Amino acid sequence: VSGPRYLVVDYLMVLKEMCVPNATGCITGPAGAAWPYRFIGCILSNMIRDFDVSLETFTPVTNIARKDVISHPFEVQTSRGVIATKHVIHCTNAYAATLLPALKGKLWPLRGQMTVQSVPESFPRLGNKRSWSTIWAQGFDYITQSAANDGSLYIGGGALQGGLFWDEDVGSTDDSKQSSSCLKHLEKVPKIGFGIADGTQVEKKWTGIMGFTGDGLPFVGQVGHDISGREDCDTAAGGEWIAAGWDGYGMVQCWLAGRALAKMIVSGTDNAPEWFPAAEFACTKARLDKMTPEGGLRRLLEI
Ligand SMILES: Cc1cc2nc3c(=O)[nH]c(=O)nc-3n(C[C@H](O)[C@H](O)[C@H](O)COP(=O)(O)OP(=O)(O)OC[C@H]3O[C@@H](n4cnc5c(N)ncnc54)[C@H](O)[C@@H]3O)c2cc1C
């Protein structure tokens, strides 16, 4: 779209229209919305109820040690004690480099900002069928609307829109604080994106930490000794694994990545499902060696 600096994208019928802009310049396609906290909470509750699973919250892992014990070759040290285990799976996303220092500068944190903003009575209630993006010359925001009567807009993003962005959010793991530059931008989106003159205000705001990788693809697979610094096990005895670095899209990738990783843990890395891009997502030294912090930032700037 030439002319305007921004474009509001309505995701209704993208597949049907094959991303061809319509007469109003909008690209439309189907969308869906989920309530992640309820969804994950329900899955966890079912697992705890139906399987021999224990969930230890507020229990950071502080160290992993390799032991010469065939039945339990790893010792995971936590703030509340030690766990002896056969397998270790690093699914700490942006924080993975803490226990795998070889990932420093290859998998790094980026803080993202969310808001919930009220809308006036006159604003259409389309939350049960639409979501939008405001696409900027650089970067974009994502917008859904509550399907409830209040029609509040859930507006997130704002990255690359403020001069302070780099100082504030790149490399930050502090989700106890807001991103002032993103917030400043996001509170203007109802006006510039939808032309709402009055009657909107930020009702809720929070930040979350995403994990970005040097090449934009996640790490899903086995972690070898050349990355962990810990001796490899005989495959049958156990192993160290990773599923992290979703580049801000974990909710759409984790499910099948988790299934593929489970299959690899049970049957070996050569037996990943054939639909899974095992080579592209592999956490190998060769892949890590191609990543630089500068390259990662350059890629982010091109989003
Ligand atoms: C603002 C925002 C918008 C997003 N929008 C989308 C979207 O539209 N679509 C999409 O697909 N995804 C989106 N995401 C990304 C998605 O939320 C993440 O990719 C997903 O939550 C990653 O899940 P995870 O379990 O791998 O990591 P996280 O949810 O980051 O969980 C990692 C966990 O590891 C814990 N941890 C860290 N270190 C340790 C340690 N040493 N010991 C024990 N535990 C530790 C952390 O406390 C944390 O609970 C968004 C994220 C943000 C912040």
26 CA from centroid of ligand 1 (Å): 31
Question: Regarding predicted confidence, which is higher, 294 or 118?
Answer: 118
Cβ-in-10-Å burial (0-12, 13-18, 19+) of 6 comes to: middle
From the CB of 144, is ligand 1 less than 6 Å away?
Answer: no
Q: Which atom of ligand 1 is nearest to the CA of 59?
A: 43
Tell me which amino acid residue 251 is. Answer: M
Question: Regarding predicted confidence, which is higher, 34 or 141?
Answer: 141
Q: What is the pLDDT of residues 63-121, one digit of tens each?
A: 999 999 999 999 999 999 999 999 999 999 999 999 999 999 999 999 999 999 999 99
pLDDT of residue 12: 42
pLDDT of residue 32: 63
The enclosing H or E element of 156 equals strand 153-156
pLDDT of residue 197: 80
From the CB of 220, is ligand 1 less than 6 Å away?
Answer: no
* 3 pLDDT more than 90: no
Residue 142 φ/ψ, nearest 5 degrees: -130, 140
Task: Give the residue-averaged pLDDT of 34-43.
Answer: 87
Residue nearest (by alpha carbon) to ligand 1 atom 44: 60
Q: What is the pLDDT of residues 215-272, one digit of tens each?
A: 999 999 999 999 999 999 987 889 999 999 999 999 889 989 999 999 999 999 999 9
Mean pLDDT value across the chain: 88
Could you tell me which of 125, 184, 119, 176 has the C-alpha nearest to residue 158? Answer: 184
* 8 pLDDT more than 60: no
* 33 pLDDT more than 80: no
**Pair 151, 123: CB distance under 8 Å:** yes
- What 3-state DSSP class applies to 296? helix
* 31 pLDDT more than 70: no
Rounded distance, CA 176 to CA 189, Å? 23
Residue 136: how many other CB atoms lie within 10 Å: 18
From the CB of 156, is ligand 1 less than 6 Å away?
Answer: yes
From the CB of 89, is ligand 1 less than 6 Å away?
Answer: no
**Pair 271, 263: CB distance under 8 Å:** yes
Could you tell me which of 159, 128, 157 has the C-alpha nearest to residue 145? Answer: 128
Q: Which atom of ligand 1 is nearest to the CA of 175?
A: 53
**Pair 105, 291: CB distance under 8 Å:** yes
The enclosing H or E element of 262 equals helix 250-267
pLDDT of residue 129: 81
The residue whose two tokens read 């504030």 is 168
Task: Give the residue-averaged pLDDT of 134-145.
Answer: 89
Q: Which atom of ligand 1 is nearest to the CA of 246?
A: 19
Q: What is the pLDDT of residues 180-200, one digit of tens each?
A: 989 999 999 999 888 888 889
Q: How confident is the model at residue 300 (pLDDT cuts 50, 70, 90)?
A: confident
**pTM for the complete prediction?**
0.89
Handedness of CA 133, 139, 276, 36 (dihedral sign): negative
From the CB of 30, is ligand 1 less than 6 Å away?
Answer: no
Residue 153 φ/ψ, nearest 5 degrees: -95, 130
pLDDT of residue 2: 34
Residue nearest (by alpha carbon) to ligand 1 atom 22: 250
Q: How confident is the model at residue 54 (pLDDT cuts 50, 70, 90)?
A: very high
What are the residues facing 206 on neighbouring strands?
114
